[in-house]
């Protein structure tokens, strides 16, 4: 029996996850079991660790894990390993979900919601493929040390092996080929050895296995500028863990709001996927019932497509989100007045109209 594990987490995480849960229940996928477990700050408070051992095991045995968000000021004074974010990094690493798909697609009804001009953003459909279990997030050595002089020094290490680059690049090329698109590989090969190896490895893989997929290389700073200047030039953007984090938040604003962008983190075929809105726990609006649940609901759609064997239901759910937006449903981040629950209701109603 397929298992969907929900990890609501902290802040607005539980508020948006419950809307995704209502939709998952309404979709009534035959045989789908839905479970829920504590994660992040909520798990630190209840059980003393951000990713308790039995939650980790449950996640590894699930077919799909749908996370809300983790973190918040309550835990930010803690050492790193006792912070909610450490649980998320540990989960990504334990699941070995190395390819993080972050689609930045502008729903037509939201053309005016972007802070950029409509003629710049209309029609954008960018798919980020972000490396998720390597790079500076995980590289050793890391830490803060105190020199004999008493001065403190902080160290993080950007580290990528050829095989780590190759496996995520292969995902980007395969996805670009399937959608008839092209790949822009993004790094800083002008100043970083890891960027140089990235460019060389991507080029070699391209020549050997994907010569039919158009490939361009771009430096990460230029990419940030081009995303704002002319975002429609991009199709699939392949990049590392840190640049992927930054650039996908930027791209979210092209589509209207950070509250719109879902993600799917995938590992080797057949292993469980991890699905998360790309936004955080939004402490500034948590508890108010005003968060946009679309990113969480669209992450559920990605889980249906990539892990739960229900691609047609995923299409139906995405179409329902679009219809709800067409009918004028908007949370505050999109310039509207609906609360989180009402936005969930609007999408449920649109699903029923399908
Ligand atoms: P954030 O993404 O939580 O919020 C940034 C801004 O976007 C805030 O103004 C917030 O109100 C708004 N926003 C975010 N999601 C929204 C939604 N669904 N609807 C409406 N508005 C939304 O980023 P932050 O404030 O820098 O980080 C807060 C905490 O979240 C930190 O502890 C951070 O580490 C954590 N975080 C977690 C994740 C995750 O769990 N995947 C991702 C990013 C940040
Ligand atoms: C994200 C978040 C995470 C990241 C944090 C919370 C660990 O910002 O998923 O985008 O940096 O990957
Ligand atoms: Mn982020």
> If residue 127 lies in a helix (H) or strand (E), which one and from where to where?
strand 125-131
pLDDT band (50, 70, 90) for residue 72? very high
Token pair of 140 as six digits? 């050793």
Q: Tell me the mean pLDDT in the region 158-166.
A: 98
User: What pLDDT is attached to residue 353?
Assistant: 86
Domain count, the chain: 2
Q: Is 262 in the pocket of ligand 1 (CB under 6 A)?
A: no
Note if 10 is an active site residue: no
Are 120 and 247 part of one and the same domain? yes
In 255-279, which positions are buried (b, 16+ CB within 10 angstroms) versus exposed (e)?
bbbbbbbbbbbbbeeeebbbbbbbb
Nearest to 308 by CA among 33, 17, 67, 104: 33
Q: Are residues 208 and 330 located together in one domain of the fold?
A: no
Cα pseudo-dihedral 97, 309, 301, 237, rounded to 10: 50
Which of 10, 98, 160, 188 is catalytic? The answer is 188
Domain stop point among 255, 275, 304:
255
**CATH number for the domain including 149?**
3.40.718.10
Digit-coded pLDDT (tens) for 188-218: 999 999 999 999 999 999 999 999 999 999 9
As a whole number of Å, the CA-based R_g of the chain is 20
- Give the pLDDT confidence score for residue 333 in this predicted structure: 97
Asked if 275 is an active-site residue, the reply is no
Q: Kindly report which listed range (34-43, 75-84, 302-311) carries the lowest average pLDDT score.
A: 75-84
Same-domain pairing of 198 and 241: yes
Please check whether residues 239 and 353 belong to one and the same domain: no
Q: Is 279 in the pocket of ligand 1 (CB under 6 A)?
A: yes
What integer best gives the mean pLDDT of the chain?
A: 97
The pLDDT, as a whole number, for residue 335 is 95
Q: Give catalytic status of residue 235 as yes or no.
A: no
| Parent domain of 225 | 115-255
If asked whether residues 84 and 127 sit together in one domain, one would say no
Domain limit, last residue, from 200, 235, 255: 255
Cα distances (angstroms) measured from residue 315 to each of 2, 139, 196, 296, 320: 19, 38, 38, 15, 9
Atom of ligand 1 nearest to the CA of 279: 2
Average pLDDT over residues 259-266: 98
Q: Any idea which ligand is nearest the CA of 72?
A: 1
**Is the pLDDT score of 354 beyond 80?**
no
Residues 21-32: pLDDT tens digits? 999 999 999 999
**Domain identity same for 273 and 325:** yes
For ligand 1, is residue 85 a contact (CB within 6 Å)? Answer: yes
Lateral strand order in the sheet of 3-9:
33-36, 3-9, 64-69, 273-275, 264-266, 99-105, 125-131, 236-239, 183-187, 215-219
Do 102 and 153 reside in the same domain of the chain? Answer: no
pLDDT digits (tens, 9 = 90+) for 108-161: 999 998 999 999 999 999 999 999 999 999 999 999 999 999 999 999 999 999
User: Which whole number is the average pLDDT over 249-260?
Assistant: 96
């Amino acid at each position: 029996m397929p298992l969907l594990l929900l990890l609501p987490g902290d802040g607005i995480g539980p508020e948006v996850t419950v809307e995704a849960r209502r939709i998952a229940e309404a979709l009534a996928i035959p045989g789908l079991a839905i479970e829920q477990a504590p994660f992040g700050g909520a798990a630190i408070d209840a059980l003393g660790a951000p990713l308790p051992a039995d939650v980790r095991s449950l996640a590894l045995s699930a077919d799909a894990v749908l996370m809300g968000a983790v973190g918040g000021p309550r835990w930010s004074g803690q050492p790193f390993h006792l912070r909610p974010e450490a649980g998320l990094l540990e989960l990504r690493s334990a699941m070995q979900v190395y390819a993080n798909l972050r689609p930045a697609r502008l729903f037509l009804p939201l053309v005016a919601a972007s802070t950029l001009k409509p003629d710049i953003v209309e029609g954008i459909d960018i798919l980020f493929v972000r490396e998720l279990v390597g790079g500076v997030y995980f590289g050793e050595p890391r830490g803060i040390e105190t020199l004999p002089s008493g001065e403190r020094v902080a160290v993080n290490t950007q580290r990528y092996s050829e095989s780590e680059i190759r496996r995520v690049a292969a995902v980007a090329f395969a996805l670009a080929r399937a959608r008839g698109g092209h790949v822009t590989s993004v790094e800083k090969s002008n100043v970083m050895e890891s960027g140089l190896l990235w460019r060389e490895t991507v080029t070699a893989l391209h020549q050997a296995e994907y010569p039919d997929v158009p490939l361009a290389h771009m430096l990460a700073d230029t990419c940030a500028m081009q995303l704002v200047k002319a975002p429609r030039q991009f199709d699939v953007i392949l990049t590392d863990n840190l640049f992927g984090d930054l650039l996908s938040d930027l791209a979210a604003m092209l589509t209207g709001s950070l509250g719109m962008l879902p993600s799917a983190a995938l590992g080797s075929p057949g292993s469980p996927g991890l699905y998360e809105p790309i936004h955080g726990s939004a402490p500034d609006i948590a508890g108010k019932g005003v968060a946009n649940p679309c990113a969480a609901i669209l992450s559920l759609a990605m889980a249906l497509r990539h892990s739960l064997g229900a691609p047609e239901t995923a299409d139906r759910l995405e179409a329902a989100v679009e219809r709800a937006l067409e009918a004028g449903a908007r949370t505050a981040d999109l310039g509207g007045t609906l609360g989180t629950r009402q936005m969930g209701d609007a999408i449920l109603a649109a699903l029923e109209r399908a």
